[in-house]
């Protein structure tokens, strides 16, 4: 079984460095171009199933791939970005101005990590039960992908920001996950 975790394409909020969380922000022009380049790359590979977060930026990225691969998109709410609570729509400087340097230590309604991991583990368990031996694409968000990769293969995953339309592949062999490609965007250089 192989899962390719794909971060959605670029949005205007990405460029402004605004926390998106569960806010439903669409791709910008660059994000649409990135999704097209990604779909061309994926079209040269073999994939069986495509899942996506239901947020616009992920769905728009998944649609380009679905058309290229002639597959159906399965929307799954468990793939939505980590809920940002009151910080959604704000930049780092706005957060510091509003709540001070220690804003990360405040209860601002952000989704707890335990809840994020619970929903992601549930998603992985369902994939394993329903799609054993398949090649699966999952279009989601940087926060979710980073946390899932650290859970699946912490020894091979770096602490870096996931790039827009990056592909990170994990393979399940002998009941052990291994990250074999991490945060790869070579399709954007073609």
Structure tokens at 41: 């790359």
Among all residues, which ones are annotated catalytic? 8, 81
- Confidence label for 149 from pLDDT (cuts 50, 70 and 90): very high
Give yes or no for a contact between 58 and 164, defined as CB atoms under 8 angstroms apart.
no
**Residue 155 pLDDT:** 80
H-only helix segments in the chain:
12-16, 29-43, 56-69, 92-99, 113-130, 142-152
Domain region containing 60: 2-189
- How many whole angstroms separate alpha carbon 186 and alpha carbon 38? 9
**Domain tally for the chain?**
1
* Single pTM value for the model: 0.94
Q: What percent of the chain has pLDDT over 90?
A: 92
Residue-wise pLDDT for 38-79, tens only, equals 999 999 999 999 999 999 999 999 999 999 999 999 999 999
Instruction: Average the pLDDT over 89-114 and give the result.
Output: 95
Domain CATH number, residue 128:
3.40.50.1240
Instruction: Average the pLDDT over 169-173 and give the result.
Output: 95
Q: Pairing mode, if any, of strands 135-140 and 176-184?
A: unpaired
Instruction: Average the pLDDT over 10-34 and give the result.
Output: 96
């Amino acid at each position: 079984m192989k899962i390719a975790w794909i971060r959605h394409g670029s949005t205007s909020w990405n460029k402004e460095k605004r926390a998106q969380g569960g806010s439903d922000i669409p791709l910008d022009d660059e994000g649409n171009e990135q999704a097209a380049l990604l779909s061309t790359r994926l079209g040269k590979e073999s994939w069986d199933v495509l899942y996506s977060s239901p947020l616009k930026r992920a769905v728009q990225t998944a649609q380009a791939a679905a058309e290229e691969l002639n597959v159906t998109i399965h929307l799954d709410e468990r793939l939505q970005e980590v809920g940002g609570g009151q910080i959604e729509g704000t930049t780092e400087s706005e957060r510091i101005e509003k709540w001070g340097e220690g804003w990360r230590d405040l209860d601002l309604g952000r989704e707890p990590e335990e809840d994020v991991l619970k929903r992601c583990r549930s998603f992985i368990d369902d994939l394993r039960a329903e799609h054993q031996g398949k090649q699966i694409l999952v279009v989601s968000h940087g926060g979710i992908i980073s946390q899932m990769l650290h859970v699946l293969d912490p020894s091979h995953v770096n602490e870096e920001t996931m790039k827009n339309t990056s592909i990170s592949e994990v393979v399940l062999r002998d009941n052990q996950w291994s990250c074999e490609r991490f945060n790869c965007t070579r399709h954007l250089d073609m």
